[in-house]
Homo-oligomer: A and B are copies of this chain.
Amino acid sequence: MQQTARHLPAGERRAATVRTVVALAAEQNPGEITTAAIAERMNLSQAAIFRHFPSKDAIWQAVMEWVAERLLARLDEAAGGAATPLAALEAIFSAHIEFVAAHPGVPRMMFGELQRAEDTAGKRMARTLLARYDERLKSLITRAKETGEVDAAVDTATAAALFVGTIQGLVMQSLLSGAAPSLRSAAPGAFALYRRAIAAA
């Protein structure tokens, strides 16, 4: 990100480090991001990193916290402005796509953390994020059943899983093509199909 601001206060340096990791994850395998690479991107010595984080795991934890806070805030904001539960689902869908289009490294980091064998802090944070996401989806789907927008015969948990899967399908397509714009343009069509899957007849 910014290059030439030296001697940042600790809080800002931590924030800059997190932003740098998110940016690097958009370019390379998150598992292969080294502390040296992070430092180089910030025009800092590698040793400086460890003045602000006790370990590399702590960096990943901070990054996953950043993702959880920002993503959930945007989703809640999007859902809040919607008139009906189904409209809220669509708003969340768009907001999520917008978020990963702006930060292409995020889904890669999520998958990377979830795949870790050890039970790291970052992995727990990723799990928590997904659990909270799932909660919100299930709540909205339940309410949409009550308003009659979603078919009552549809299983709520399955519908929530398909919502996430629909996004993942788009993400995978963009991973293959390497293009972020395709994500945004393909999103409306994907949600239209998802709506068909759950909508009442």
Residues on A lying within 8 angstroms of B by beta carbon are 27-32, 108, 111-112, 114-117, 127, 130, 154-155, 158-159, 161-170, 172-173, 175-176, 186, 189-190, 192-194, 196-198
Contact = CB atoms under 8 A, between A and B. Distances in A.
Interface of A: prevailing SS: helix
B173 A161 contact: yes
A58 to B, nearest CB: 19
A130 B175 CA distance: 12
Contact of A29 (B116, B159, B194): B116
Given A111-B111, A164-B172, A165-B167, 7 more contacts: A27-B117, A114-B172, A130-B176, A154-B196, A158-B189, A162-B169, A194-B197
A177 B158 CA distance: 15
A118 to B, nearest CB: 9
Nearest to A175: B114
A25 to B, nearest CB: 9
27 contacts: A29-B31, A31-B32, A31-B112, A32-B117, A111-B115, A112-B115, A114-B175, A127-B176, A154-B193, A155-B189, A158-B189, A158-B192, A158-B193, A161-B169, A161-B170, A161-B172, A162-B169, A162-B190, A165-B165, A165-B168, A165-B190, A166-B169, A168-B168, A168-B169, A168-B172, A193-B198, A197-B197
Contacts of A198: 193, 196
Contacts of A112: 29, 31, 115
Give 8 nearest A-B pairs by CB, closest first: A165-B169, A197-B197, A28-B117, A165-B165, A168-B168, A161-B169, A158-B189, A31-B31
A15 B154 CA distance: 44
Contacts of A155: 189, 193
Given A29-B31, A117-B27, A162 B111 contact: no
Contacts of A115: 29-31, 108, 111-112, 175
